[in-house]
Amino acid sequence: MKVQGKDFRTIWRKPNSKSVFLIDQRHLPFEFVIEEIKNVDEMCTAIAEMHVRGAGLIGASAAYGMALAAEQGIKEADFEVHLRKAGEKLKATRPTAVNLAFGVESMLETIRPGDGNEENAKRITEAAERFANADADMCRQIGLYGSKIIEDIHTLNPGRPVNVLTHCNAGWLAFVDYGSALAPVYEAHRRGIPVHVWVDETRPRNQGSKLTAWELAMEGVPHTVIVDNTGGHLMQHGMVDICIVGSDRTTRTGDVANKIGTYLKALAAHDNNVPFYAAMPSSTIDWNLRDGIKEIPIEERNQDEVLCFDGMSEHGRTQVKISPEESKAANFGFDVTPARLVSGMITERGVTKANEESILEKFPERR
Ligand code: MRU
């Protein structure tokens, strides 16, 4: 997608380079910083400290991290053990998004025990590239299927823009390219369908006001940042036509774990008859799970993210304290929206209802 008119992915390799390059998202929207990652430990730090974030992107980062571990482990006596250790380190960085484990496991599956280390490393390097490309391809398809839903809403109300509400950042910054929840918005915008996005700021880390607003601005999509508690009011007044959010882990029954606060938006949407869609590539579906509330691990992060506010002032990047010294905070990163509140799931194979039977119609190989 575009940054100052130039095409970028969130993560990439350069020909003949031993490193991986990524957009360090901690600096957005104030500065555009590219970071060079030289080894798997640096990749673990980049994921844990959210230089990269978003389900699809941390999956691709894990795959590239495994490629670095493989390339640098050619002299290891037990190559497979070395790679499994690297995979465990990567998987320990963040618990909720299943793509992380999927990225690691997909790389481990390419190892052929009978082959030499060099051959196996080469295979993992190529597999990581394919993994990243597949993430971008799935998101592009989500854009094509999802834009049809936006187009249908526009056909019913041709005189005004379609108002989409989104939470957190499920745009291209959360994937390798295109995004999940925002891919339909970008595709509709490209096709000349008037669209406007209500952007939840998404405390505590403000992925909405910092990242979603930035990427929409770069693509010239009209948008308005709102505080997280505004959605219900807007829905009561007919100012939201559709909610589209991403997912960090989806059960085979259609429960959706996404950034904390998503569930409350789904409840408000349900109460106001606003369609509530979750957009996700199938790499986000955890086929082993049936009950999202009981089974999906929810990340808890440092309380300083809640007790402080981070932004830019005339003195540069600044963190200010916004609570009494004595106060503690709880910082749950995600919540689970039960399938009954999800109107539909936008996947790379089309739109499905949020229930096991409908999901399996699109993914029959998972029966
Ligand atoms: O904590 P983050 O920024 O990694 O959380 C990201 C989200 O919750 C996104 O909405 C989500 O990843 C779905 S789209 C990839």
Q: Which of 24, 177, 248, 335 is catalytic?
A: 248
> Residue with the nearest Cα to atom 5 of ligand 1?
54
Structure tokens that stand for 235 in this block:
């829905």
Q: Output the CA 190–ligand 1 centroid distance in Å.
A: 24
Going by alpha carbons, the residue nearest to atom 8 of ligand 1 is 259
pLDDT of residue 4: 86
Which pLDDT score, from 0 to 100, does residue 5 have?
Answer: 84
Which of 258, 277, 283, 296 should be mutated for ligand 1, with most atoms under 8 A from CB? 258
**Domains, the chain:** 2-134 (1.20.120.420), 145-366 (3.40.50.10470)
Among this protein's residues, is 248 annotated catalytic?
A: yes
Report CA(167)–ligand 1 centroid distance (Å).
9
Atom of ligand 1 nearest to the CA of 99: 15
Residues 181 and 245 sit within 8 Å (Cβ to Cβ): yes
Best residue for ligand 1 mutational test, from 50, 52, 53 (most atoms within 8 Å of Cβ): 53
Residue 2 has pLDDT above 90, yes or no: no
Q: pLDDT tens across 294-312, in order?
A: 999 999 999 999 999 999 9
Q: What is the pLDDT of residue 322?
A: 97
Burial 25-56 (b: 16+ CB within 10 A, else e): bbebbeeeeebebebbebbbebbeebbbbbbb
**Across all residues in the chain, what is the average pLDDT?**
97
In this prediction, residue 103 carries a pLDDT of 98
Question: Region 227-252: what's the mean pLDDT?
Answer: 98
Q: What is the pTM of this model?
A: 0.97
CA distance 206 to 300: 16
Compute the residue count for the chain: 367
> Is the pLDDT assigned to residue 319 strictly greater than 90?
yes
3-state secondary structure of 299: coil
Closest protein CA for atom 12 of ligand 1: 54
Predicted confidence (pLDDT) at residue 60 exceeds the cutoff of 90: yes
User: How buried is 363 (Cβ within 10 angstroms: 0-12 exposed, 13-18 middle, 19+ buried)?
Assistant: middle
Q: Convert the pLDDT of each residue in 262-298 to its tens digit.
A: 999 999 999 999 999 999 999 999 999 999 999 999 9
Q: Which residues form ligand 1's pocket by a CB distance below 6 Å?
A: 53-56, 168-170, 174, 180, 207, 246-248, 258-259, 333
Instruction: Encode pLDDT of 169-205 as tens digits.
Output: 999 999 999 999 999 999 999 999 999 999 999 999 9
What's the pLDDT at 122? 97
Per-residue pLDDT tens for 211-238? Answer: 999 999 999 999 999 999 999 999 999 9
Percent of the chain predicted with pLDDT > 70: 100
214 CA → ligand 1 middle, Å = 16
CA torsion angle 92 93 99 104 (round to 10): -60
Residue 1 confidence (pLDDT) above 90: no
